[in-house]
Amino acid sequence: MKERTKEFLQKYLIGFILGVISAGLIIVYAETYFPSNQTTYDNTNTELQSKNVQDAIDELYGVCFPSAADQIIEAAGLEKDSYECRYFFTGANPNNYITFNGEEAGWRIISVECDGTIKIMRIASIGTQKWDTENGSSWDRPTSLNTYLNETYYNELNNTAKSQIVVKNWNIGATTYDNNDLAEQINNENSKKWNGKVALPTASEYLRVNNNINQCKTSNMYNNNVDICKTTNWIYNNILSNSNLLLLSPCLKSNSHNNNLAVIAKINPAGNAGLILSIEAYNNGSISPTLYISSDVTLTGSGTQSDPYVVNS
């Protein structure tokens, strides 16, 4: 990723950069040498022009061979998220299909992270389960669904898939289903972390994959314009079951559910389809496993449903 690459360049290349002031510009000559265990970069002598050393470092990034994450960003024309260092696939049906665990085009990419990892979710639900059978604590207790996904489900994956998954810090903070401020909602989710392999999408991710930011930016806006918003959200169009899609985010207003733990759920196709609502955690919901792929993988394919990205170790 750009940020990571710039940090690397700042740390290892600054000693190789020579500035020659000419006509008000710094002409930078840099010959890059990296340890053999690092990503391969263009090792040629390159002349760059910029107004300062930082701009030269930015330009040097263009000399690098792209990682799998950079490849996706470049090919899909993804733009950086306004709130975090992430790149989301947005809209009704972007080219974010990916083959994982031998399931051809069976997953879709939610986001590309600035550490190079790739967050994906399974298209078809693996069935319905309760978020937590005891309905009394947070995801990191762990809840019954957490245990199932990170033990039973994880153990059923093939060995290649397991080797491609990375343990990550997930945002499990509680938020509200009718929030009017997306930044606040993201901050709420980010206020608590859990370290693990498999989980679910968050409530803010369901919002941020929608490309209609004028009408669907916040939970409250989304619910008020649901008939429009559900047409520009691939996660909504992605889900094939008829039950609530359970999300990772607990509901901050649990007192509205008789003091039982509630979670954010997206109501699926019947009834008030697409609404962001909360339900008690002991209710059954549809499960779409979500996980992070390592930054060390390589990819082939273009991301369409007929030519999905294929993860290669």
What values do phi and psi take at 310, rounded to 5?
Answer: -120, 130
pLDDT of 30 > 80? The answer is no
Pair of tokens at residue 258: 């008789």
β-partners of residue 154 are: none
pLDDT at 312: 83
The residues near 21 (Cβ < 8 Å, ≥ 6 apart) are: none
- Helix and strand totals (H; E) in the chain: 12, 18
Pair of tokens at residue 219: 């939970």
User: Residue 230: how many CB atoms within 10 A of its CB?
Assistant: 21
Mean pLDDT of 283-290: 93
Helix (H) or strand (E) holding 102: none
Q: Is 21 helix (H, G, I), strand (E, B) or coil?
A: strand
Q: What is the sign, positive or negative, of the torsion defined by CA atoms of 88, 74, 168, 83?
A: negative
Highest mean pLDDT among 22-31, 268-277, 278-287: 278-287
Q: Is 217 helix (H, G, I), strand (E, B) or coil?
A: coil
pLDDT interval class at 62 (50, 70, 90): very low
Mean predicted lDDT score pLDDT of the chain: 81
Q: What is the C-alpha separation between 53 and 51, in angstroms, rounded?
A: 7
Locus of tokens 């265990």: 37
Q: What is the C-alpha separation between 146 and 200, in angstroms, rounded?
A: 9
Pair 276, 219: CB distance under 8 Å? yes
Closest CA to 269 of 306, 233, 224, 216: 233
Locus of tokens 């733990």: 261
Pair 41, 13: CB distance under 8 Å? no
pLDDT at 58: 53
pLDDT at 15: 44
Q: What is the C-alpha separation between 274 and 224, in angstroms, rounded?
A: 11
Residue 89, CA distances (Å) to 78, 93, 96, 114 in order: 7, 9, 7, 14
At 173-198, the pLDDT tens digits run 999 888 899 999 999 999 999 999 99
